[in-house]
Chains A and B, each alone.
Chain A
Amino acid sequence: MRKITKGLMFGAVAAMSAMSLAACSGGGGEETTTAGGDTTAASQDTSKKEMKVAISFSNDSLDCHKESFGWYTQIEGMSETLFRVDDDSKVVPLLAESAENEGTLWTIKLNDKAAFSNGTKLTADMVARNLQRVGAESGKFKAYADFEIKAVDDTTLTIDTKDPYPTLKNELSSPEMGIMDLDATTDFVNAPIFTGPFVIDKFTPGGDVSVKKNENYWNGDVVLDKIDFLYMMDDSSKLMAMQNGEIDWYNSVSADAIAIYQKEPDKYTLTSIPGERSQFYFLNENNISINVRKAINSIVDKEAIAKFLEGSTSASDGPFNPSAAYGKVAAPAKVDLETAKKLMEDDGYTLNGNGIYEKDGKEVNLTVKYYEARELDKVATLMQEQLKAAGINTTLKAEEDTEGYVTTGDYDIALYCMITDKFGDPYYFINNTLADGGYYNAGGFKNEECQKLIDQLKSEEDVAKRADLANQIVQIAVDDAYMGYVGLFNKTTVAKPGITGISADNPYDFYGVYSNTSF
């Protein structure tokens, strides 16, 4: 019996020891880490010329004209556009030098230094063919298929939009408008040639991406030799990899991780700015009276919600980033429980013994629909608590179909999250949510004055006037209590101290690394 015991014990212990030894000796592999856990070979053995970045998304293709793949190729420093949106939401030249328009005709002058990573000079003909390809490949930009796009000379092209199109310059800064060398390769999925500071080194569809320095970069020196973008979905893995010094920076930092990083400011640089994704709600005008809508907007305390969400959102008065000229709401909804009470009473409601408003013997109960992402579930629960405390009962309903409830108007209150500013202009969001027939305007909002302003916004070319119009339009919807704005998702980036030249201060999600990105 003793022999059996010994044999079996040996077997089990040997198996466990083998795994433990393998685990303990694993550090001798390619990803060496040093004792102490705060540094690794990852970035320091290469004289700080190689960077590792965690990303929460994965590319399935590098063809920037298709789907949203251009977001990733631009974040990863490979693709560039004719214009770019700066930190203040202003459109500034990149591959292009200028864009002028007369009526429906736009004349775009290219930067004559611009060139692809293979050394080929960027020509107007190549840009024209790229824009035509975007029109053919991307549903979002199918209007470009109808535009007349012509190269005038090597560095000048014209685009006849046929109808006034004041946002053309903004659209040309969309990541889907990245410029590729269409003649150098046909393998746009795996090995496209771009103009950016980095070129593809290793691409795994649905996985990691490695880029290396573009030795022929047209716009100055590229500091780093190599950047690995590591696809890491799990927040705790990103946190631990950062703590272990195995990644140099990442964004979309979770609230839990923010709290941990904040405790060690010497080791981590946290940057948090309001982004371009807004959490807001529609109040269905077909189901809810103006007084009740206004009362709801006077009850919902967005500051308290933002505080609860611990840094993942910033409370906002409107749909746009307040740093933008079109992000100014002159008279936002404010928390005022007394006003809310008066509005409800003026509407014929009285508080019953349960502390809930009722009318004609029926308690008020509104359905709040939302989908379970982007913290909307938490926002819905917090709104429910706040409304209940003020006498308005709500029933929460999580929707599987993330769009259906908003676009069909099947709600009392529809909580939603979307990008409100795609490329430094307010028209896209306003047209979708407030214009007559707007796809997301399904809650009965119809305002003649507002529509008139939206029509003006559609064709207005002056940037300052556009901002003014947008601010007026948003104010009308706020005054009508058709929408309530909760917060803007923060773009939170954590980096090792000393890292510069990353997109931490730019509110748009589609920027990442640049030629001057360094340690």
Chain B
Amino acid sequence: MGKFIGKRLLQLVFVLFAVSFMTFALMYIAPGDPAERKLSAQGEAVNPEVLEAEREKMGLNQPFAVRYFSWLGGVCTGNLGTSYVDNRPVITKLGEGMAYTVPLAMSALAVALAISLPLGILSAVYSNSVLDIIVQIFSFIGNALPNFLIAVLLIFFFCIQNSFLPVIANNSFTGLILPTLSLAIPMCGRFIKQFRGEVIEQLEKDYITGLRVRGVKEKKIIFGNVLHNSSAAIITITGLAIGTLMGGSVVIESIFRWPGVGKLVMDSITARDYPVIQGFVLIMAVIYVLINLATDILYRVIDPRIDYEK
């Protein structure tokens, strides 16, 4: 296992190098001049001399290789550069965003799992029953509605119609409720469908028939065998969801004024704040690789037959 983890961490270095190069190259060839964006932020005309001086100051006149390796050198020492917009360290800005994105992502995931895991299992156990149809309709609606529409509907119901919650959610627990639900509901739609399919697949296997024939109680079969054997798929689905959620949700964060990384990156794209975008992509690559690694390790914990070293 140790060798496996070491190998995967080594792979991470190559992945990060490739990701950093591709991101930098894409930013380099993308239309739009960060210096121009900065100077014309309010819609004012740009003075060409000032623009040239700003480009020079921002290092935009340097050749691609010089810029890339200078940035990469900084990354190797933990310095992701400074934002073009406010000259603050990228790592600080991303850290501030993550401090909001992580609680939102985790609460949305927890709610989604708490709702969809029981409903997915129930739907599978009682497949083609009225309960299954109801759950599947819920799943279909959750899947079909975009999260911004869910967000607006939730605000309308909880804030405008019933005044249970304020529209302006300060970054408190109450402020976390509606963004959490807006992210969790569409996720439930997907999860229920996937969990249901996985459980049905297990229930149709011969060993389940064997267990039933031998008189093993249904409760034990579901929780002891089916759930255990489905857990690898559930972990994979959950792992992928964590990766997506950690990237932040631009729409939800904007609607609920949640200052997470999604909104930060969207603002950075608009302002062509390349250091922030590059830093974000790099951090996300690390998160994805680490989540995948954790998922693989969990597989092994769940099923000791898996031997990664072979």
Q: Which residues of A contact B (CB under 8 A)?
A: 1, 3-5, 7-12, 14-16, 19, 22-27, 29-37, 40, 42, 52, 58, 60-61, 67-68, 71, 139-140, 142, 204-207, 230-234, 236-237, 240-241, 243-244, 246-247, 277, 374, 399-404, 407, 417-419, 422, 428-429, 432-433, 439-440, 509
Contact = CB atoms under 8 A, between A and B. Distances in A.
Contacts of A243: 160
21 contacts: A1-B125, A8-B119, A10-B118, A11-B118, A23-B158, A26-B173, A29-B166, A35-B163, A52-B168, A67-B85, A204-B259, A206-B86, A236-B152, A237-B255, A240-B156, A240-B167, A244-B166, A401-B36, A403-B33, A404-B31, A439-B46
B163 A401 contact: no
A241 B155 CA distance: 10
Contacts of A8: 118-119, 121-122
A52 B166 CA distance: 13
Q: Which of B114, B168, B219, B255 has the most CB of A within 10 A?
A: B168
Contact of A23 (B44, B125, B164): B164
B174 A26 contact: yes
Nearest to A16: B115
B11 interface: no
Contacts of B159: 33, 37, 240, 244
Contacts of B161: 37
B42 interface: yes
Interface in B240-287: 254-257, 259, 263-264, 267
Contacts of A15: 111, 114-115, 118
B163 A30 contact: no
Given A8-B122, A419-B44, 17 more contacts: A8-B118, A9-B118, A11-B118, A12-B115, A19-B180, A23-B158, A27-B164, A33-B166, A42-B168, A68-B41, A140-B50, A206-B264, A237-B255, A241-B168, A403-B33, A404-B31, A439-B47
Given A23-B158, A246-B167, A432 B45 contact: yes
Nearest to B107: A19
B152 A19 contact: no
Interface in B90-143: 93, 96, 111, 114-119, 121-122, 125-126
B168 A247 contact: yes
A439 B163 contact: no
B114 A68 contact: no
Contacts of B162: 24, 35, 37
A334 B167 CA distance: 46
Contacts of A401: 31-33, 36
B130 to A, nearest CB: 13
A206 B50 CA distance: 25
B166 A40 contact: yes
Contacts of A140: 39, 44, 47, 50
A231 B258 CA distance: 10
A231 B86 CA distance: 17
Contacts of A22: 173-174, 177
A130 to B, nearest CB: 20
A404 B117 CA distance: 53
A374 B43 CA distance: 10
A403 B259 contact: no
Contacts of A60: 83, 85-86, 88
B128 to A, nearest CB: 15
A12 B118 contact: yes
Nearest to B252: A234
B44 A4 contact: no
B264 A241 contact: no
A400 B31 CA distance: 6
Contact of B36 (A32, A40, A402): A402
Contacts of B156: 240
Given A34-B163, A243-B160, A4 B174 contact: no
Contacts of B126: 5
Given A400-B30, A422-B44, A139 B121 contact: no
Nearest to A422: B44
Contacts of B256: 237
Contact of B53 (A16, A139, A407): A139
Q: Which of A33, A61, A139, A402 has the most CB of B within 10 A?
A: A139
Given A23-B177, A236-B255, A237-B256, A440 B45 contact: yes
Contacts of A240: 152, 155-156, 159-160, 167
